[in-house]
Structure 1
């Protein structure tokens, strides 16, 4: 439960921090995009205003607007006052005529290029001129009447219209608030008052990429920051899990050592107390039995203490010598068979030829004995069987130790060599969780490797991999 809460808190914290970073980055991009070429836009706006100071939209545009509107103003007023349906149709026809004339007679291209050349601006700048709204005023009491805006149905195709009105001239394809240079509303007076609104957009090609390129250092720092945050969170989580694992292992070890040490100590204390009783002292057989109990439990304590000491001393006293692998295994198996009671069995099938390798016979024997102890101690079969044999592999050899025990779960197979690790919490099986750890240490100092084949209910097979051509000076100890 605590693991899930910790993971959830870490994940939520990381997502919040990530969203904040992305939001700040996006806001920085928007600000940079808005202010991009601000000086150039201000310059173009001023120059464009001076170029049409006595005109509308572009040079000659005012005459076109005056001509179309002046001849239609009386009809527009009449239909507006008498027939609104006819007024709407007439408004659309007048708007289409006006915009078509403006497109046909546009001189905006020469006006814009003149501004660019005169001020030494980027020759690749693109522009777009749009006509957004026309309003007329027949009577101050009625107020302004819109006969055209960007939402009005017109004869123009979709590629000739934008959210900012109908395109009059220009090649810019993405008009936005950010690249709008001018938004002008100009009033005029013919037979009646009118007001027109138009827009000029200017932008270099590839603006988005250029802004993104300018933001590259910021993007890089944000990415680096996110990577560092992910790394810190991951490292913190892994460290926490490792510490938790070590705490659990130490707790298991303390519980195990308490059980393994308390049992013989308690037995020795009880036996010792009994030896003080006159009734017991007068019975030779009871004294011998109690002495044997004390001796057996003392040996058990001595075995546990030696096992822990062997772990700390293993790297300090290593004496390698050329030894026949068949002989060492056979000697140990013959000695170990004394502890194996029928119908249980321990067998060894020697390799067909002599195998001379560099090893420390004592360390090797202790290591192999630990594996055999495990194969019988954790085997709950009615008939316990362990088989040893040697096979050749890639110029080297593999020592197989195979039993018919309960097997090991796949999830913990890689953990069985960890210090103090014990598979399961069965206190009926003695041990401190050091046996297989000692095995791994012995193999490491010899430069050998070990692998495990196992399946629940089908037993376990340990494979000790001994490389070919090993020499005493090639072993790291």
Structure 2
């Protein structure tokens, strides 16, 4: 439960930190993009104003606007005063006609290129000219009346409309306040007054990439920061898990030591105390019985101590010898059968041919004995059966140790070879959790491997894999 809470807290903290970092980076990019401006903006604005000083929008634009509006002003006034719906329809027709004529007759391209050439500007600069608003005024009491703005229906395609009005001319794809050079509202006087508003945008191509490139050091630092944070969190989590595991292992080991050592020590103390009693000393049979108890418990303590010493000394004094695998297993099985009481059984089916391998006989025997101890000690069947046999596999061999016990749960199968690990907390089964750890250590120093086939309540099968490179060819021997 604590592990899950820890993971959740770490994950949520990391996600919050990541979102904050990304948000700050995005805000920095927005600010940099907003502050990015064309150095020549003022120059272009002044040059554009001078180029159309006696005109509107572009050279010849004023004539188009005057001709269309002057012919429609009386009708617009009449419709506005008498029929507002008709006024709206007439405004749309007049606006569409005006905008289409401005697009068709545009000379803005030549105006802009002459500005660029005359002032030695970057020839890659792009522009966009948009028409934003038309207002008319035929009565000072009524005031200005808008017949076209950004919200008016025009019938133009979506790619011809921007938030700053309808496109008249130009190829700049992304008009914005950052690249707007001019926002002009100019007035004219015909039969009645009118006022038009238009915009000029100028920018070099790829401005977004240029801003991103300027932000590259910031992006790199943010990425590095995130990587470091991930690394620190991962390292902290791994260290915490390792410490937690070590703490659990130590706790389990101390509990096992307490149980496994306390019982024989207590028994020895009680037996020793009894030997001081005159009544016991005068009864030789009782003395012999107490001495046997002390001896058995002392052997038990000696066995536990030796097991721990074997773990610490396993990598020292390894003596590999050429040994027949069949003989080594058969010898141990015959010796071990003495401890197996009927109706329990231990059987070995030798391989059909001699198998010569390099092994340390003592280490191998102790390793196999630990597996057998495990197969009988944790087997609660009415009739305990363990079978050993050898099969050939990919030029090597596999030693099978199969029992009919309770099996091993999948959740603990990968942990049973850990030091001091005990799958169950049943104190009626003696042990320090070192047996299978010792088995794994023995296999590692031989260069062998082990796998497990198990099914709850149906038994467990240990498979000791001896690779082909460690067998000795008998024909050339």
Aligned counterparts of 2:385 and 2:42: Cα–Cα separation in 1: 93
Q: 2:248 aligns to what SS in structure 1? A: helix
1:42 is displaced (CA, Å) by: 4.0
Q: How many residues align structurally?
A: 472
Aligned counterparts of 1:105 and 1:426: Cα–Cα separation in 2: 96
Specify the alignment match of 1:475 in structure 2: none
Which deviations, in whole Å up to 9, do the C-alpha atoms of 1:149-205 show, x marking residues without a partner? 121123434443333222211233443334333222223333433221111223344
Aligned counterparts of 2:306 and 2:169: Cα–Cα separation in 1: 95
Question: Where do residues 245-264 of structure 1 align in structure 2 (5 Å cutoff)?
Answer: 245-264=245-264
More displaced stretch, 146-155 vs 297-306: 146-155
Aligned counterparts of 1:38 and 1:258: Cα–Cα separation in 2: 81
Aligned counterparts of 2:443 and 2:156: Cα–Cα separation in 1: 85
Could you list the structure 1 runs, at least 4 aligned residues long, displaced by more than 4 angstroms after superposition. none
Specify the alignment match of 1:373 in structure 2: 373
Specify the alignment match of 2:33 in structure 1: 33
1:369 is displaced (CA, Å) by: 0.7
1:268 is displaced (CA, Å) by: 1.0
1:185 aligns with 2:185: yes
Check conservation: 2:29, 2:211, Cα contact below 8 A.
yes
Check conservation: 2:180, 2:201, Cα contact below 8 A.
yes
More displaced stretch, 258-267 vs 206-215: 206-215
Check conservation: 2:355, 2:471, Cα contact below 8 A.
no
Q: What TM-score do the two structures reach when normalised by structure 2?
A: 0.93
Aligned counterparts of 1:266 and 1:401: Cα–Cα separation in 2: 36
Residues 290 and 316 of structure 1, relative CA distance in 2, 3 Å threshold: same
1:217 is displaced (CA, Å) by: 4.0
Question: Where do residues 287-302 of structure 1 align in structure 2 (5 Å cutoff)?
Answer: 287-302=287-302
Aligned counterparts of 1:115 and 1:2: Cα–Cα separation in 2: 71
More displaced stretch, 275-284 vs 305-314: 275-284
1:40 is displaced (CA, Å) by: 4.0
Unaligned runs of at least 5 residues, structure 2: 473-477
More displaced stretch, 57-66 vs 75-84: 75-84
Q: 1:234 aligns to what SS in structure 2? A: helix
Question: Where do residues 198-217 of structure 1 align in structure 2 (5 Å cutoff)?
Answer: 198-217=198-217
Specify the alignment match of 2:475 in structure 1: none
1:126 is displaced (CA, Å) by: 2.7
Aligned counterparts of 2:411 and 2:12: Cα–Cα separation in 1: 29
Specify the alignment match of 2:418 in structure 1: 418
Aligned counterparts of 2:321 and 2:471: Cα–Cα separation in 1: 9
More displaced stretch, 177-186 vs 407-416: 177-186
Q: 2:408 aligns to what SS in structure 1? A: coil
Check conservation: 2:108, 2:169, Cα contact below 8 A.
yes
1:362 aligns with 2:357: no
1:12 aligns with 2:12: yes
Specify the alignment match of 2:167 in structure 1: 167
Q: 2:470 aligns to what SS in structure 1? A: coil
Q: 2:168 aligns to what SS in structure 1? A: strand
1:239 is displaced (CA, Å) by: 1.9
Residues 35 and 117 of structure 1, relative CA distance in 2, 3 Å threshold: farther
Question: Where do residues 229-244 of structure 1 align in structure 2 (5 Å cutoff)?
Answer: 229-244=229-244
Specify the alignment match of 2:228 in structure 1: 228
Aligned counterparts of 2:280 and 2:402: Cα–Cα separation in 1: 47
Aligned counterparts of 1:468 and 1:232: Cα–Cα separation in 2: 43
